[in-house]
Amino acid sequence: MKALEMVAPGTALREGIESILDARTGGLIVIGDPEELSFLNSGGIKLDIDYTPAFLYQVAKMDGAIILNTNSTKIAMANVQLMPDPTILSHETGTRHRTAERVSKQTDALVIAVSQRREVVSLYVDGAKYILEDIPVVLAKANQALATLDKYRTRLDQVSTRLTALEFEGGVTLHDVLTVMQRSELVTRMAVEIERYIVELGSEGRLIEMQLEETMVGAAAEKAALVHDYLAEYSDEGFASALDQVGRLPHQDLLDFGCLAELLGYDRKLNTLDYSVSPRGYRIMGRIPRLPKLVVGEIVKEFGGLDELLAATDAELEAIEGVGEIRAKDIREGLRRLQEINLVDRYLQT
């Protein structure tokens, strides 16, 4: 991602690469600490000049590699013959690309190979290769992914609205919870994929970024509140671990409700359709305006669950530290409005 960000449209480095492409001269650019890379060098011209796209284009006319400093603000050397370890396995066939792959495997440097004949830019980091695509192609992929994300988010909102209704009615099953968790994680993963496109698009990806931010409002908080509410045995360590493990699940395991149930501390062999669970109330109270998280924590600690909160008297609610008479009324009004809004949402969705 850092490599893509460095060569994104709008950057000085990308401008220099585009000039090399247009001239069809080809080039090999190594970005890293010149001192740490010196053991690979044979010959070359020491320049140590400020980087500009024009200078990069000019020195690329020479046959050897170009070495830039770590943040690509200076051109350290030009016309360098690189001598990486020849025993390092390389799947490339061309001399320039084979050298680029070996240097990236042998050092921490970012290596950019600009093909002279095919007009292709290849990035190498830690031996991994990524071919830069044309901006219109990346834009098309980003827009397609954004449309898919919009559908995923709509479905997430639907199952989330249904879960909220069931929470107020006291009829939640583990299957309902896992459905929302699965959808929430799928939305998160799709957003991460789009973020990669945004980085690659650079200045061309601002509109995509704005649309992504709008689509993802509240998604992370929804997932965290869900784990807060339904973790079988709650602890701060268990909460953080469950969120981390959900994010690391392979895609196939994410589709398996048994795996998801196990992450929340339940037996993976449970019949999730019949197993009733009760929320602690974090998810619902998190939607009440101007209600601090510390107060939410105190309420959950006092009552233990949403059902108990809904059944509590005004006096019991007011007695909790940080609540008082005015905030108690705000909580009651907030819960009432959430129930009304949820009923309207469910009606509109059907």
Domains of the chain: 2-132 (3.40.1700.10), 133-279 (1.20.1260.110), 280-338 (1.10.150.20)
d(CA 281, CA 304): 8
* Encoded tokens for 258: 């048994």
Angstrom distance (rounded) from CA 37 to CA 111: 12
The stretch 85-104 carries a mean pLDDT of: 92
The H-or-E segment that residue 262 falls in is: helix 257-263
> Residue 214 class from Cβ within 10 Å (0-12 exposed, 13-18 middle, 19+ buried)?
exposed
- Please give the Cα distance from 190 to 193 (Å, whole number): 5
What's the average model confidence in pLDDT over 64-91? 94
Of 305, 287, 307, 315, whose CA–CA distance to 323 is shortest?
Answer: 315
pLDDT grade for 344, boundaries at 50, 70 and 90: low
Does residue 271 carry a pLDDT above 80? yes
Mean pLDDT across 309-323 = 88
Tokens for 291, please give them. Answer: 């209600």
Residue pair 31/74 in contact (Cβ under 8 Å)? The answer is: no
Is the pLDDT at 346 greater than 60, yes or no? Answer: no
Q: Which residue has the higher pLDDT, 175 or 332?
A: 175
Bridge pairing between strands 65-68 and 27-31: parallel
Determine the pLDDT at residue 282. 92
Copy the structure tokens of residue 62: 């020479």
Instruction: Tell me if residue 293 falls in helix, strand or coil.
Output: helix
Q: Which two tokens stand for residue 234?
A: 């709650």
Amino acid at position 36, single letter: E
Judge whether residue 177 has pLDDT over 70. yes
Listed range (194-203, 212-221, 331-340) with the worst mean pLDDT? 331-340
Contact status, residue 315 vs residue 214, Cβ threshold 8 Å: no
Q: What's the confidence (pLDDT) of residue 70?
A: 94
Helices (H), 73-129: 95-106
**What tokens were used for 283?**
């998810």
**Paired strand residues for 114:** 27, 121
pLDDT band for 66, please (50, 70, 90 cuts). very high
Report percent pLDDT > 90 for the chain.
71
Q: Which two tokens stand for residue 156?
A: 């997430």
Q: Which residues contact 179 (CB under 8 A, 6 or more apart)?
A: 159, 163
Asked if 210 and 142 count as a contact pair (C-beta separation under 8 A), the reply is no
* Confidence (pLDDT) at 293: 87
Q: Summarize the confidence of residues 237-255 as an average pLDDT.
A: 93
Examine the pLDDT at 287 and tell me if it is beyond 90: no
pTM: 0.80
Instruction: Return d(Cα 296, Cα 205) in angstroms, integer.
Output: 38
- Res. 193 pLDDT band, cuts 50 70 90: very high
Task: Count, in order, helices (H) and strands (E) of the chain.
Answer: 17, 8
Q: In the predicted model, is pLDDT for residue 196 greater than 60?
A: yes
